[in-house]
Amino acid sequence: MKYRLPDFAGKTVSFSTADSTLGVEEPRFETQGGRLFVVGIVPKGATTSDWAAGVRCAVAWEAVTDYLIFESVADYSARLAQSHRKKSLKAPKTETMRETPR
């Protein structure tokens, strides 16, 4: 049976594997060493402190467990920012211990 691969042209996609998630801008399929990969560019905001923003990346297609398709990099970035805001609101506030005067 032949399977048709998804067309991600013009999209930004967040791919999940068993260990991680990575956003990919303009993803396309490419065969490397006999294996199928999704290749593209890491968008700004996809990695902690943007250390990999703008870098070409590849995710092994057989490792992908699920993915989210965003209409554009702007859509991806806005939703990512919203996610980060919600996480920071849920983070428990830490209290510092103060010595009680004697």
pLDDT tens-digit map of 40-72: 999 988 888 889 999 999 999 999 999 999 999
Domain contains 55: yes
Domain contains 52: yes
Q: What is the pLDDT of residues 72-101, one digit of tens each?
A: 999 999 998 887 776 666 655 544 444 444
Domain contains 92: no
pLDDT at 25 over 90: yes
Is 25 or 93 the better-scoring residue by pLDDT?
25
Domain contains 27: yes
Q: How many domains does the chain have?
A: 1
Domain that residue 27 falls in: 12-80
Backbone φ and ψ of 5, nearest 5°:
-80, 150
Structure-token match 């993803």, residue found = 27
Domain contains 19: yes
Scanning the chain, the segments in alpha helix (DSSP H) are: 73-90
Given this model, what pLDDT does residue 58 score? 97
Domain contains 2: no
Q: Say if residues 70 and 46 touch (Cβ distance below 8 Å).
A: no
Domain contains 70: yes
Domain contains 98: no
